[in-house]
Amino acid sequence: MTSTVTTTGATSTVDSLRRHLVGLKMPRALEILDHTIRQLERGEVAPLEALDALLAEEYTGREGRRVKAALQMARLTTVKTLADFDFSFQPSLDRNRILTLAQLEFIDRHEVLHLLGPPGTGKSHLALALGVEAVKAGRSVYFATLAEVIASLAKAEREGTLRERIRFLCRPALLIVDEIGYLPVIPGGGNLFFQLVNARYERGAMILTSNRGFAEWGDVFGDPVVATALLDRLLHHAVVIQIEGASYRLRQHAGLIPENTLARPSTSPSPTAPKRRGRPPKNRSPDQQPNT
């Protein structure tokens, strides 16, 4: 009789646990509840260990779902990690410096990280990997190529929603702009990008990747004045990392690539860029034309 009452009581308690887990929306804990109970009955785990295991499994599942959703919102559909990066192939890179950046303090300082180097040297991989680290740490991130950013700004300008679009691109703690210098910038695109950079200046961190040196940005954006204005802000609080190496993608066919096509960008700023004298006025509106 006592055994029957005990069994009935245990069953009732387990049913109550299931209802609570359903009500609390803890599907992973509910999924492993029976297995955990069997472990308890066999004496394989202590009660506190069993409770910790249930909560740990649920937390891991929730965190995985959060990161997956955040990666999608950040447009980080291609997930790259620092663990996957072959530092041995790019000896010019300081591995410890990259790992220090992965601590994300540059985001808190609202700095701009420039990753410069020829195509295939790992710039985008590192930018994506740092973006993934930021997402895992709970920071908001948005990734786009320069062409995509400018196209979206140009569309917003035509539709009369440029201010709203700039505000949208200022929300993420980290904005990653990939492939600067790979495609021609549309007329007026440099000025649109300047407005975005100016709006984020000292308010949000950025990662920029480019195969072109700063001295070439006048050609990239089709306007030396706009390029100088961009560099004035993007180099004020900046970390510049130059990758001097061969293309990882072409490592098996390096002998087929003409030597004169393997140009290396210069990291020296444009000689026309003026020295900064003080901070820019705080009341500059996002759509103001560059005046430097």
Tell me, yes or no, whether 109 and 169 share the same domain.
yes
**pTM of this prediction?**
0.77
Tell me, yes or no, whether 96 and 241 share the same domain.
yes
Q: For the chain, what is the mean pLDDT?
A: 86
Report the candidate in 127, 277, 103, 113 with the shortest Cα–Cα distance to residue 204: 113
Q: What phi-psi label fits residue 81: left (phi over 0), alpha (psi between -120 and 50 degrees) or beta?
A: beta
Report the candidate in 288, 272, 276, 151 with the shortest Cα–Cα distance to residue 223: 272
Which residue segment(s) compose the domain that 22 sits in? 2-73
Q: Is the pLDDT of residue 265 over 80?
A: no
Tokens 């909560």 sit on residue: 55
Q: Give yes or no for a contact between 123 and 116, defined as CB atoms under 8 angstroms apart.
A: yes
Tell me, yes or no, whether 6 and 89 share the same domain.
no
Q: Is the pLDDT of residue 200 over 90?
A: yes
Residue-wise pLDDT for 228-262, tens only, equals 999 999 999 999 999 986 665 545 544 555 555 54
Tell me, yes or no, whether 60 and 146 share the same domain.
no
Tell me, yes or no, whether 112 and 208 share the same domain.
yes
Tell me, yes or no, whether 172 and 118 share the same domain.
yes
**Is 110 strand, coil or helix?**
coil
Evaluate whether residue 284 is within a structural domain: no
Q: How confident is the model at residue 92 (pLDDT cuts 50, 70, 90)?
A: confident
Classify residue 281 by burial, with Cβ atoms within 10 Å: 0-12, 13-18, 19+.
exposed
| H or E stretch at 207 | strand 205-210
Tell me, yes or no, whether 244 and 112 share the same domain.
yes
Q: How confident is the model at residue 24 (pLDDT cuts 50, 70, 90)?
A: very high
Lowest mean pLDDT among 208-217, 218-227, 238-247: 238-247
